Structure 1
Amino acid sequence: MLHIKRLLGQIRRAIQDYNMIQDGDRIAVGVSGGKDSLTLLVALRQLKNFLPVKFELKAITLTMGIGEVDLSPVRELCERIDVSYTVEETLIGKIVFEERKEKNPCSLCANLRRGALHNTAKRLGCNKVALAHHMDDVIETFLLSLFYEGRIHTFSPVTYLDRKGLYLIRPLIYTEEKLVKQFVKANNIITVANPCPANGYTKRQYIKDLLAELRKENRQIKSNIFGAIKRSGIDNW
């Protein structure tokens, strides 16, 4: 139970530090079916019971149009925790892998998924979209941008999309991936396999593996990088 309380405390602190949620918000949670997004959904639903602000949650899953994916565990979870669930059918996977045959598919896929998620959230009357990027994602994106783009960049805790009239919030930014794994196990959350053909073979996976190697010599490397990001003031941090 201690790690569950710790995770909820970290999310609550992120929400308070960056004023992520206000009274009357209708928040769409992007739910892939993986451990990160399901953890965010369940945690926000638990926090909804005792946060001082009143808000509404809606879960959204985008299908990719490739592979057979059984979303029944996600649907059953949403029913159990009393959160509205919408499955938006897309052909993003077919466009990226079959029509375009992208050698480096992640960027195009991410752009298409963002657009579809934002449009669905607006259609459902939401004013915010909660994304499940955790601390490890923040660090990995920072290193990817530094190594491969030559720029200092990573996710912002809160982003306003003026063209869509949507706020993007990332309540897991203080949470390490290992704590997410513990939360999923402790709550017996059933995850859905990622159907993406590129899963596990990306530059992000390379950075993840690199950090794991570096951490063998320096146990503080992730906290040091994350602290540097916070102190730098980049991207509205």
Structure 2
Amino acid sequence: MQKLLSKARQAIKEFNLIEENDKIALGLSGGKDSLTLLHILKRYQQFSPEKFDLIAITLNPGAGADFSPLRTLCEELDVPFYEIETNIIDIVFEKRNEKNPCSLCANLRRGALNDHAKKLGCTKVALGHHKDDALETFMLSLCYEGRINCFSPKSYMHKNDITLIRPMVYIEEHEIKRAVKDYNFPVIQNPCPVNGKTKREDMKILIKDLNTKIPGFKKSLFSSLNNSEQLFIWDHDSIKNS
């Protein structure tokens, strides 16, 4: 856990993710990532030079999942816990019957989380995206959208007047899995019907395969996300006028 905390602290400092008197809502899904982030932020809060408040918000998607273990955990950690009832699964899979449901589901969850965080007086929302999530998002954008794009460690949402932060962007997924096993975090089974059957999962497999065939591929791919000064793209105006 100390190694994870060190990497999170690096991201927090480099991207100025936490500021004095912030009230941070952590999106606690009950998955391995959000549970690990909960423990990281709670420990960081104990020695952080910036004083901040931390709460946890769990969105119940309406699939009958039992989130009581999360409430118990938050009570043990002295983190205020809020469970928000939603009908997201019904909207995505029944009313809309989406063939590619991930985008709509993510938008609905993000909107509900940001809205409730704002209502609870929060200035920021902390999300459990990690280093491998960033690489997969980068590859998804390149392969399916034809653009170079990825989520940012910090994003200001004008609509909600709230800032999203991702303190685990320097932490690899295998490190999170090890922490979950070592500390026996109460992981909640993902109720999504398409869990593990998405294009993101395809990207995870592709990146793993490329890293095997091209040693250091993941390291180079991640370095490119931090190398904005040397980004070369075909800017038609600058090329034809050169």
Q: TM-score range by the shorter chain?
A: over 0.9
Partner of 1:134: 130
1:41 aligns with 2:33: no
Amino acid at match of 2:175: L
- How far the C-alpha of 1:217 sits from its partner, in A, is 2.2
Higher mean displacement: 162-171 or 213-222: 213-222
Distance 2:213 2:96 in 1: 42
Partner of 2:146: 150
1:198 aligns with 2:203: no
Q: Which ranges of structure 1 fall in alignment gaps of 5 or more residues?
A: none
Partner of 1:26: 23
What are the within-5 Å matches in structure 2 for residues 176-215 of structure 1?
A: 176-215=172-211
Distance 2:73 2:217 in 1: 35
Q: For residues 79-119 of structure 1, what are the alpha-carbon distances to aligned partners after superposition, in whole Å with 9 as ceiling and x for unaligned?
A: 11100000000001100001111000001111111110001
Identity %: 52
Partner of 1:10: 7
Structure 1 residue matching 2:168: 3-state secondary structure: coil
**Structure with bigger gyration radius:** 2
Distance 1:138 1:221 in 2: 14
Partner of 2:234: none
Q: For residues 132-151 of structure 1, what are the alpha-carbon distances to aligned partners after superposition, in whole Å with 9 as ceiling and x for unaligned?
A: 11000000000000000001
Q: Which ranges of structure 2 fall in alignment gaps of 5 or more residues?
A: 231-242
What TM-score, normalized by structure 1, do the two folds share? Answer: 0.94
Partner of 1:125: 121
Partner of 2:51: 54
Distance 2:68 2:87 in 1: 20
Higher mean displacement: 113-122 or 178-187: 178-187
Structure 2 residue matching 1:48: 3-state secondary structure: helix
> Aligned residues, how many?
230
Structure 1 residue matching 2:175: 3-state secondary structure: helix
Considering only aligned residues, what root-mean-square deviation do their CA atoms show, in Å? 1.2
Q: For residues 174-222 of structure 1, what are the alpha-carbon distances to aligned partners after superposition, in whole Å with 9 as ceiling and x for unaligned?
A: 0000011111122221100000001011000000111121222234221
Amino acid at match of 1:134: H
What TM-score, normalized by structure 2, do the two folds share? Answer: 0.93
